[in-house]
Amino acid sequence: MACSAAAGAEATALLCRRPAPSSITGRNRLAVSRRPRHGNLRTGAQPPQKSTPSANYRNRVNIQRDRAGASSDDEHQQKSEDENGLQNIQLEDLVEMIQNTEKNILLLNQARLQALERADKIIKEKEALQQEINNLEIKLSETGAQSELSSKGMSDAEALEFDVLKEENMLLKDDITFFKEKLIEITETEESLFKLEKERALLDASLRELECAFIAAQSDMLKLGPMQHDAWWEKVENLEELLESTANQVEHAALILDGYHDVQDKVDKLEASLGATSISEFCLYLVDLLKKRVKSIEERLQACNHEMHSQIELYEHSIVEFHDTLSKLIKESEKKSMEHYAEGMPSEFWSRISLLIDGWSLEKKISNNDANILREMAWKRDSRLREAYLSSRGKSERELIDSFLKMALPGTSSGLHIVHIAAEMAPVAKVGGLADVISGLGKALQKKGNLVEIILPKYDCMQHNQINNLKVLDVVVQSYFEGNMFANRIWTGTVEGLPVYFIEPQHPGKLFWRAQYYGEHDDFKRFSYFSRVALELLYQSAKKVDIIHCHDWQTAFVAPLYWDVYANLGFNSARICFTCHNFEYQGTAPAQDLAYCGLDVEHLDRADRMRDNSHGRINVVKGAIVYSNIVTTVSPTYAQEVRSEGGRGLQDTLKIHSKKFVGILNGIDTDTWNPSTDRFLKVQYSANDLYGKSANKAALTKQLKMSSANASQPLVGCITRLVPQKGVHLIRHAIYKTAELGGQFILLGSSPVPNIQREFEGIADQFQNNNNIRLLLKYDDALSHMIFAASDMFIVPSMFEPCGLTQMIAMRYGSVPVVRKTGGLNDSVFDFDDETIPMELRNGFTFLKADEQGFDSALERAFNYYHRKPEVWKQLVQKDMKIDFSWDTSASQYEDIYQRAAARARAAT
């Protein structure tokens, strides 16, 4: 609208630029043009003419005149010159007239174009206005409808608001009627604009006529020379008439344009009135109303909130008060019960405690020193004694003594100083499960607040890169061996966060410089030497160790050495725990060999001490059973089995010492064996995200150049030492059976037994070109991690198995175990189809008979579930991955027996 007002002003300006628009009408200009006709002749020199059409015309006339002059006599020439001069003057006037007319035509054309533009704009604006009115009507009808709808179920205040809205709607409707009327006016204006347009067309036509006439006049001028003056004037008159009618039209157009100004004014006024009550204003009004409503609702909400908060505050306040009263009541009741003790039973209670302590002291169940400490505590009515007494109700006297003695410890720390003396430790020196136990149990005990140290031989072949801060101490430990003293260098470093001492004998036999851990002709010598130096180290460092834990035959020498040699030197604070990880390896030798490490052969070569039960040699495992304070093996079932044939001749010894013998199931190091962090895996995964498992399978089969065409083929894994214990004949059979069932098989293992190694090399050759079978006859820690992750099933068909770690590791990696029901396998794998076992415990497939049929029945069932019930299989995989095989529970059991032994030790001194 503002734009059209501006355009209107511009048009006015354009008209004003013409000289005196109101006076310069066509008629006035015509009067000027007529002057030459009434004799006002022009004389004298004329300024040079521009090359306009009339100038050209003039030139052409002069040329005609020259030609005419050349062909007449003088008189005639004079007359002719006069006539020509007259003609020239008249022509010049005519040309001027035409020039004026041209100018007027140009101006008119411009005015016409302006008028056209304004007309278009007005039409567009009218359309936009109509559209806005339409929208407004639609909005109004919607608002009306919504209001109708929302009026139902309104509160009084809302109804009032609704009425206001309705009224506003009515007013708006009136406004719209008013706008409509205005619109009709605009339509009328539009009609007059149409008329203007028509006039414009007429004007256009006459202008064209005028132009044609002018062109005709021009050509006539060319032929004018001999033409009659009157005829010429006739033409001029015609032209004048044309000009007059054009002037009339221009006048008319000016009138119409004046009318247009009126229309423009009207439009501007309309615009102004529309601006006053514009749609956006209406919208603003509506928004404002809505805002008000929202505000009132917010206010109400705030009020509610406020009320709620004050209620909550009240409620909280009353809770605090309630708690205060409750704690006061509790304190009062405690006080009363204390007073009850103090007033009623206390003297009798504390007297009884004092008598108990005196009795234990007299019976030598506790030392005099401990008795004095405990007596003083009872005298002072130490609440810790009272709590220990009350919590031990129903337990044995021994347990009560132990719990009392814990408090007699200086500093009363429940932590123990435990030293493991072993031949292996993972990952620095690993041959089998023993290594895993040392680091796994050691870490778990350390986590429980004990001081744990490890003593290992310093092997040349160990994984030095697995040791942190390896350094040699500035001390040489001299140790006895074979009648001589040998120097030993002591190295320290940490492995898996545990402090480790590495002993490097300066012995000419280069005892641990053999490029292998075991299998040397002088193993008995090597490890008896090591056991002696380990104790020597502890002795010389004057440590007050609580538990010395030795493992397997290699360090079984420690038990008799400790009690027969070092205890006599005053090194006797510790108690010895011996764990036999496998009763197959007992460390037997001719009796005199015991003397190498300083043991008294005569004293020990006795049936009740170290002489082997079935032949004349000495047996170091037997010696450890006899000489240790605690004897353990690695699973409850195996502990049971070794009490009969499984004991390999030591069953009677174990029976004799059964009170100190216990089977504790090994755990696994869940930090090392963790599929969600395992750095050896292609993709880490967890029970809740098994994608990584199939990715590892794909990666490993690709790496080993195995077929990956059939993704539904189960992959069977086996990682083991290839020794008869592990059921090598069933492992061999499993390879063929898996091929027959359409599965894939990967074996990772090596054998210390040459003919077994050769046999498996032969099988490997046989399957060399089979894309589904791979035999990797070596030791490879990284590869073992990848196989655990990639396999779907894992076989452990052992003839006997003290504990077995691979079935637990396999489950942690989602590989379902297929195992023989023996030893630790029986304590950790429960058959999926065995209905006598609770469903939640069933985690694998087991068989009892150590033959091919027995194995086949378990493997075939596993294959069936894998192929036919993939969902059940997946659930089984996930369940297995979530089983807690950590050392936590087992370490607590060890800690418990350590504590009791340590307490007895204190009681004894």
Which structure tokens are listed for 151?
Answer: 């009026």
User: Minimum CB separation from ligand ADP for residue 668, in Å?
Assistant: 8
Question: How far does CA 114 lie from the centroid of its chain?
Answer: 69
Q: Which is nearer to ligand ADP, 495 or 538 (CB)?
A: 495
User: Minimum CB separation from ligand ADP for residue 422, in Å?
Assistant: 13
User: Minimum CB separation from ligand ADP for residue 727, in Å?
Assistant: 12
DSSP classification of residue 685: -
Which structure tokens are listed for 374?
Answer: 């405990």
User: Minimum CB separation from ligand ADP for residue 867, in Å?
Assistant: 28
User: Minimum CB separation from ligand ADP for residue 523, in Å?
Assistant: 17
Q: Is the peptide bond before 427 cis (omega within 30 degrees of 0)?
A: yes
Order of strands, edge to edge, in the sheet holding 451-457? 468-481, 484-495, 498-505, 451-457, 417-421, 547-551, 575-580, 630-633, 661-663
Which structure tokens are listed for 246?
Answer: 């054009």
Q: CA 143, 148, 152, 155 torsion: positive or negative? A: positive
Q: Which is nearer to ligand ADP, 8 or 717 (CB)?
A: 717
User: Minimum CB separation from ligand ADP for residue 704, in Å?
Assistant: 15
Q: What share of the chain is helix, strand, coil (3-state, %, to 5)?
A: 60, 10, 25
What is the β-pairing status of strands 498-505 and 484-495? antiparallel
User: Minimum CB separation from ligand ADP for residue 469, in Å?
Assistant: 26
Q: Which is nearer to ligand ADP, 95 or 829 (CB)?
A: 829
Which burial class, exposed, middle or buried, applies to 584 when counting CB atoms under 10 A from its CB (0-12, 13-18, 19+)?
middle
Backbone angle region of 182, left / alpha / beta, with phi > 0 → left and psi within -120 to 50 → alpha: alpha
- 314-336 as b/e: b if 16+ CB within 10 A: eeeeeeeeeeeeeeeeeeeeeee
Q: CA 217, 222, 223, 229 torsion: positive or negative? A: positive
C-alpha closest to that of 622 among 595, 659, 583: 583
Q: Which amino acid is at 860?
A: E
Q: Which is nearer to ligand ADP, 630 or 805 (CB)?
A: 805
Q: Which is nearer to ligand ADP, 192 or 725 (CB)?
A: 725
User: Minimum CB separation from ligand ADP for residue 582, in Å?
Assistant: 6
User: Minimum CB separation from ligand ADP for residue 592, in Å?
Assistant: 31
User: Minimum CB separation from ligand ADP for residue 696, in Å?
Assistant: 16
User: Minimum CB separation from ligand ADP for residue 667, in Å?
Assistant: 12
| Helices vs strands, H then E, count in the chain | 28, 17
Q: CA–CA distance from 312 to each of 297, 308, 394, 481, 705 (Å)?
A: 22, 6, 48, 81, 70
User: Minimum CB separation from ligand ADP for residue 796, in Å?
Assistant: 7
Q: CA–CA distance from 865 to each of 364, 870, 889 (Å)?
A: 62, 7, 32
Q: Which is nearer to ligand ADP, 26 or 844 (CB)?
A: 844
User: Minimum CB separation from ligand ADP for residue 817, in Å?
Assistant: 11
Q: Which is nearer to ligand ADP, 480 or 767 (CB)?
A: 767
SS (H, E, C) 476-501: EEEEEECCEEEEEEEEEEEECCEEEE
Residue numbers at the binding site for ligand ADP (CB under 6 A):
432-433, 436, 719-721, 748-750, 779-781, 784, 803-806
Q: Can you tell me the distance from the alpha carbon of 89 to that of 39, in angstroms, rounded to the nearest whole number?
A: 10
Q: Which is nearer to ligand ADP, 605 or 792 (CB)?
A: 792
Q: Which is nearer to ligand ADP, 432 or 692 (CB)?
A: 432
Q: Can you tell me the distance from the alpha carbon of 696 to that of 694, in angstroms, rounded to the nearest whole number?
A: 5
- 831-861 as b/e: b if 16+ CB within 10 A: bbeeeeeeeeebbbbbbeebebebbbebbeb
Q: Can you tell me the distance from the alpha carbon of 626 to that of 144, in angstroms, rounded to the nearest whole number?
A: 103
Q: Which amino acid is at 55?
A: A
User: Minimum CB separation from ligand ADP for residue 723, in Å?
Assistant: 8
User: Minimum CB separation from ligand ADP for residue 725, in Å?
Assistant: 7
Q: Which is nearer to ligand ADP, 619 or 720 (CB)?
A: 720
User: Minimum CB separation from ligand ADP for residue 328, in Å?
Assistant: 59
DSSP classification of residue 47: P
Give me the residue label for tokens 């005990």: 445
Q: Which is nearer to ligand ADP, 12 or 757 (CB)?
A: 757
Q: Which is nearer to ligand ADP, 572 or 750 (CB)?
A: 750
Q: Which positions ≥6 away from 726 have C-beta within 8 Å?
A: 720, 749, 796, 797, 798, 799
Q: Can you tell me the distance from the alpha carbon of 823 to that of 798, in angstroms, rounded to the nearest whole number?
A: 9
Q: Which is nearer to ligand ADP, 264 or 582 (CB)?
A: 582
Q: Can you tell me the distance from the alpha carbon of 458 to that of 442, in angstroms, rounded to the nearest whole number?
A: 19
Task: Check if the beta carbon of residue 816 is closer than 8 Å to that of residue 880.
Answer: yes
User: Minimum CB separation from ligand ADP for residue 814, in Å?
Assistant: 16
C-alpha closest to that of 867 among 723, 718, 743, 701: 743
Q: Which positions ≥6 away from 729 have C-beta within 8 Å?
A: none
Q: Which is nearer to ligand ADP, 253 or 805 (CB)?
A: 805
Residue with the shortest CB distance to ligand ADP: 433
Q: Can you tell me the distance from the alpha carbon of 820 to that of 797, in angstroms, rounded to the nearest whole number?
A: 5
Q: Which is nearer to ligand ADP, 743 or 804 (CB)?
A: 804
Q: Which is nearer to ligand ADP, 421 or 435 (CB)?
A: 435
Give me the residue label for tokens 């409620």: 315
Q: Can you tell me the distance from the alpha carbon of 308 to that of 317, in angstroms, rounded to the nearest whole number?
A: 14
Task: Check if the beta carbon of residue 6 is closer than 8 Å to that of residue 267.
Answer: no
User: Minimum CB separation from ligand ADP for residue 792, in Å?
Assistant: 17
